[in-house]
Amino acid sequence: MNNKPMILVVEDDAAVRSLMAVTLDTQGYRYHLARNGAEALIEASTQQPAVMLLDLGLPDMEGVDIIRKVRGWTGMPIIVISARSEDADKVEALDAGADDYLTKPFSVDELLARLRVALRRVNAEASAIGESAIYENGSLRIDYAAGCAYIADREIHLTPIEYRLLCLLARNTGKVLTHNYILKEIWGSYTASDVGSLRVFMATLRKKLQAGDDTQPYIQTHIGIGYRMLKQDVRPEDTP
Ligand code: CA
């Protein structure tokens, strides 16, 4: 019996598709391959993949439309893999519901790392019963009931907006959140000029998270796109 996660690869380029297949195979993942959007939608609905790796430029359909359709019935992680380096394409895909993106050409190690992040998110969601009252990530801890955040058991003093930003990122750990999404969630609106203020809030929040001895980076900046809460690596002896 193979209970390894199943990955759906959507890619019209045969060479890239077989590179991905070989890579997934050597890591013991199961996979299904789709060459176009129509196949992708069939495979996504019938095979119940754990994660979808999606090329944006497909012969029959825009990748973004596939994301929108798939998001109608599943929250499975979608990692966009695209030759398009324009930020606007990535932002559109993320806003449509993608979790992450990779720009071609990509390294196999980077692909596998992103895949592990996505799978950790799936596992974390599966093991969480409802919304946990306590969030823990490295030495960062958020007590949602008390409305407090701690680094290495020391409370960090946050303004209400900083706290809400932190909670939003924490609830979406591993997922890239676009400026647009964050502004809508926190302030309920979006204008391009707000991105500047968001950047200021994030800089202060990040400084506060890095107070004390803890120098682990929690918040990753995606220039021109948004931010992501990074899952801190768990030491081997902490793994169940
Ligand atoms: Ca393509």
Q: What CATH number should be reported for the domain holding residue 62?
A: 3.40.50.2300
Cis preceding-peptide flag for 105 (omega within 30 of 0): yes
Tokens encoding 226:
């948004």
Q: Is the dihedral of CA 204, 120, 107, 54 positive or negative?
A: negative
Asked whether residue 187 falls in the same domain as residue 109, the answer is no
More confident residue, 35 or 197: 35
CA 177 / ligand 1 centre spacing (Å): 24
Asked whether residue 36 falls in the same domain as residue 90, the answer is yes
What's the confidence (pLDDT) of residue 130? 53
User: Structural domain tally of the chain?
Assistant: 2
Range of the domain at 91: 6-124
Residue 152 lies in a domain: yes
Beta carbons of 36 and 59 less than 8 angstroms apart: yes
CA 70 / ligand 1 centre spacing (Å): 19
Tokens encoding 74:
């599943």
Q: Could you tell me the pTM of the whole model?
A: 0.75
What's the confidence (pLDDT) of residue 211? 67
If you ran DSSP here, which 8-state letter would residue 54 be given? E
CA 9 / ligand 1 centre spacing (Å): 12
Paired with 33 in beta bridges are 9
> What's the mean pLDDT when you consider all of the chain?
88
What's the confidence (pLDDT) of residue 28? 93
CA 160 / ligand 1 centre spacing (Å): 44
Confidence of residue 157 (pLDDT cuts 50, 70, 90): very high
H helix count then E strand count, the chain? 8, 12
What's the confidence (pLDDT) of residue 214? 57
Confidence of residue 237 (pLDDT cuts 50, 70, 90): very low
pLDDT tens digits along 21-52: 999 999 999 999 999 999 999 999 898 899 99
CA 180 / ligand 1 centre spacing (Å): 26
Question: Residue 1: is its pLDDT beyond 70?
Answer: no
What's the confidence (pLDDT) of residue 215? 66
Percentage of residues of the chain with pLDDT beyond 90: 61
CA 62 / ligand 1 centre spacing (Å): 10
CA 13 / ligand 1 centre spacing (Å): 6
Question: Residue 161: is its pLDDT beyond 60?
Answer: yes
Residue 238 lies in a domain: no
Where a domain ends, among 124, 142, 174? 124
Average pLDDT over residues 55-70: 94
Question: Residue 183: is its pLDDT beyond 60?
Answer: yes
Beta carbons of 138 and 117 less than 8 angstroms apart: no
CA 119 / ligand 1 centre spacing (Å): 24
CA 108 / ligand 1 centre spacing (Å): 17
Question: Residue 205: is its pLDDT beyond 90?
Answer: yes
Asked whether residue 217 falls in the same domain as residue 115, the answer is no
What's the confidence (pLDDT) of residue 185? 87
Q: Which amino acid is located at 62 in the chain? A: E
Paired with 55 in beta bridges are 81
Average pLDDT over residues 80-87: 85
What's the confidence (pLDDT) of residue 75? 85
CA 238 / ligand 1 centre spacing (Å): 41
Residue 234 lies in a domain: no
More confident residue, 234 or 39: 39
Q: CB within 8 A of 143, min separation 6: which ones? A: 133, 134, 149, 150
Asked whether residue 105 falls in the same domain as residue 158, the answer is no
CA 56 / ligand 1 centre spacing (Å): 6
CA 78 / ligand 1 centre spacing (Å): 16
Residue 174 lies in a domain: yes
Where a domain ends, among 70, 103, 124? 124
CA 35 / ligand 1 centre spacing (Å): 9
pLDDT tens digits along 206-225: 999 986 665 678 999 999 99
CA 11 / ligand 1 centre spacing (Å): 6
Question: Residue 143: is its pLDDT beyond 70?
Answer: yes
